[in-house]
Chain A
Amino acid sequence: MYSVIPARILFYNEAHKEGIQMKGLRLALLLGLLMAVLAACGGSSTGTDSTGAQGSPGGTGTTGASGSAAAGSAAASRAGTTAGLPDLNGRAV
């Protein structure tokens, strides 16, 4: 019965759960930020791909999966902005 659970146990459980959630959120935000920075550094150089789009999963990232999405989108963008265009790295011709 709920009525027989001592209040301090309830408080401890809620506080503990909240603490875990806070830690998880911080970790997710840090991971997301890291992935966004990595994506921005390794991503756009053609000028046609969207660094913002690569970084955005980091901003909303609450799980580790969001980081790999960011890295994946950066790789896809380097391969050529949805059209498979190569990047000649500013070659003078």
Chain B
Amino acid sequence: MIGTDSTYPPFESIDPATNQIVGFDPDLMAEMAKLINIKPEFKTTSFDTIFEALASKQFDAVMSAVTITDERKQKVDFTDPYVSIGQRVVALKGNDKIKSYEDLKTNNFQVGVQRGTTGEQAALTTAGVPDANVKRYDDIASAFADLKNNAIDAIVADGPTVANYTGQPEYQDAVALVGDAFTTEDYGIAVQKGDTELLNGFNAALAQLKQNGKIDELKRKYDIKE
């Protein structure tokens, strides 16, 4: 079983027509499964507790647009990187006071993040937003809903995902990307500590899919820009 937070397009989301988890990560895992002979099944779970769930063997792996960090490496093992991204800022259209991530710590701005993500860390550290001004959400969709309703001033999250939300019909007239990515992060697939069989299999499959251009093909399909 593979744990994922399926509110994170274009990497994973629920297709309302089929109620299936779709996106870059499930597509990539399907390609990997063909190469190393595994039968993957994705299950939606909360991102906030996803690594604890993996460590306690509720999942065999976590594939959920996960940034490889030293802190997470204490609990789980990671594959080689398969996508590089950066944190970006989204604000309401017409908000002239937020022109880059450096403005987020000013004017008592309320900044929305998803709990337990590197976006939360980036808002607190790199952007320097006071903890009291960081509003934490269980999923990024709720943060976008609050931004559109003017309940917060900005969102910090992974670049491809905020670009995806910003382009959705529901949000494209209300919100806009601000500035460029201000961090550099690598996504990896997490496995239980010591599961070398799965880790080596994933790494071998990823290497093959990088080499044959399949990962680049999927990035183009899902408009993921690094």
Residues on A facing B (Cβ under 8 Å): 45-48, 80, 83-93
Contacts and interface: CB of A to CB of B under 8 A. Distances in A.
30 contacts: A46-B34, A46-B36, A46-B37, A48-B34, A83-B204, A85-B35, A85-B204, A85-B205, A86-B36, A86-B200, A86-B201, A86-B204, A88-B37, A88-B197, A88-B198, A88-B201, A89-B37, A90-B39, A91-B37, A91-B38, A91-B39, A91-B198, A92-B40, A92-B60, A93-B2, A93-B38, A93-B40, A93-B41, A93-B60, A93-B198
Nearest to B39: A92
B207 to A, nearest CB: 8
Contacts of A89: 37
Interface in B29-54: 34-41
A84 B35 CA distance: 10
Contacts, number: 56
A89 B36 CA distance: 8
B61 interface: yes
Most chain-B Cβ atoms within 10 A of its Cβ — which of A46, A48, A84, A86?
A86
Interface string B162-203: 000000000000000000000000000000000001101100
A7 to B, nearest CB: 65
A54 B200 CA distance: 26
Nearest to A84: B204
A89 B34 CA distance: 11
Interface of B: 1-2, 34-41, 60-61, 197-198, 200-201, 204-205, 208
A93 B189 CA distance: 12
B204 A80 contact: yes
A48 B33 CA distance: 11
Contacts of B41: 92-93
Nearest to A45: B37
B206 to A, nearest CB: 11
A38 B197 CA distance: 26
B36 A87 contact: yes
Nearest to A89: B37
Contacts of B38: 88, 90-93
B48 to A, nearest CB: 22
Contacts of B2: 93
A83 B37 contact: no
Contacts of B204: 80, 83-86
B95 to A, nearest CB: 44
Contacts of A46: 34-37
B208 A85 contact: yes
Contacts of B197: 86, 88, 91
A77 to B, nearest CB: 12
Given A93-B1, A93-B60, A93-B198, A87 B37 contact: yes
Q: Across the A-B interface, give the 5 residue pairs with the lowest CB-CB distance, nearest first.
A: A93-B60, A92-B39, A46-B37, A88-B38, A86-B201
A93 B191 CA distance: 10
Given A47-B34, A86-B200, A93 B39 contact: yes
